[in-house]
Amino acid sequence: MKKLFLLAAILLGCNSLVNAQSSQTNATPVSWNAKAGLNFINWTGEGTDGLDAKIGFKLGVGMEYALDNTWSLQPSLLLSSKGTKASGDVNGYSAKVTVNQMYLELPVNLQARMPISNNTNFVIAAGPYFAYGVGGKSTGKVSANGQTESGDTDTFGSDGLKRFDAGLGFGVSLEFNKVIIGLESQLGLTKLGDGDNAPKNINFGITAGYKF
């Protein structure tokens, strides 16, 4: 009888070990997510003191590759809007200008995940981003003596801004099971034009996402 119990215990132990190994084998370090959010966007650099921030958006998908239980690499592909606006009165003329820039953007972040309770994690992320301008209109309006003239042009036209943008991104987020709420910032490192005083993009964002 003792031998029978011992044999049963050995078989149960082997079965548990096989199941654990199978679970580890089937586990994948890759996960996917979708996110959307609001951008608070502007330009930075010399001569940008009179510019005002405006609201844009971002929308896209990402992949996360877990390096271990803490660190992961997350590239994303986003459609992101940036730009700036300005208004003022000069010599009896009232002018308003709005610059809209639409980018296809690839941020690549290194993330550190720290559990703070059951199914809740605090995540810190940082890394470079690369973007290419795919569209946008710049509009202007001038008013004087009761008359108004307005017009628009392609932001990335032949005489417009440079299409390529790159810089650094930083972010913090909370993960509630599969739901993600985060704050992000980006500092552009490439000039938007050819001049020495050409501005760069700057962006702060609020995002919400879901992990698959």
- What pLDDT is recorded for position 88? 85
Residue 178 lies in a domain: yes
Residue 194 lies in a domain: yes
CATH number, domain of 84, equals 2.40.160.20
Residue 177 lies in a domain: yes
CA separation for the pair 31, 211 (Å, rounded): 7
For residue 165, the enclosing domain spans 29-211
Q: Yes or no: say if 84 and 51 are a contact pair by the CB < 8 Å rule.
A: yes
Residue 13 lies in a domain: no
The C-alpha angle 173, 71, 17, rounded to 5 degrees, equals 120
| Total number of domains in the chain | 1
Average pLDDT over the chain, rounded to an integer: 87
pLDDT in tens, 174-211: 999 999 999 999 999 999 998 888 999 999 999 999 99
Confidence tier at 17 by pLDDT (50, 70, 90): very low
- What pLDDT is recorded for position 50? 87
Residue that has been written with the tokens 């958006």 in this structure: 57
Interstrand relation of 93-117 and 71-90 (parallel, antiparallel or unpaired): antiparallel
Backbone angles phi and psi of 13, in degrees to 5: -65, -40
Residue 190 lies in a domain: yes
Q: What is the DSSP letter of 48?
A: -
Residue 34 lies in a domain: yes
Residue 112 lies in a domain: yes
Give the H or E element holding residue 12. Answer: helix 2-26
Confidence tier at 79 by pLDDT (50, 70, 90): very high
CA separation for the pair 25, 18 (Å, rounded): 10
Residue that has been written with the tokens 């020495």 in this structure: 196
CA separation for the pair 185, 84 (Å, rounded): 16
Residue 140 lies in a domain: yes
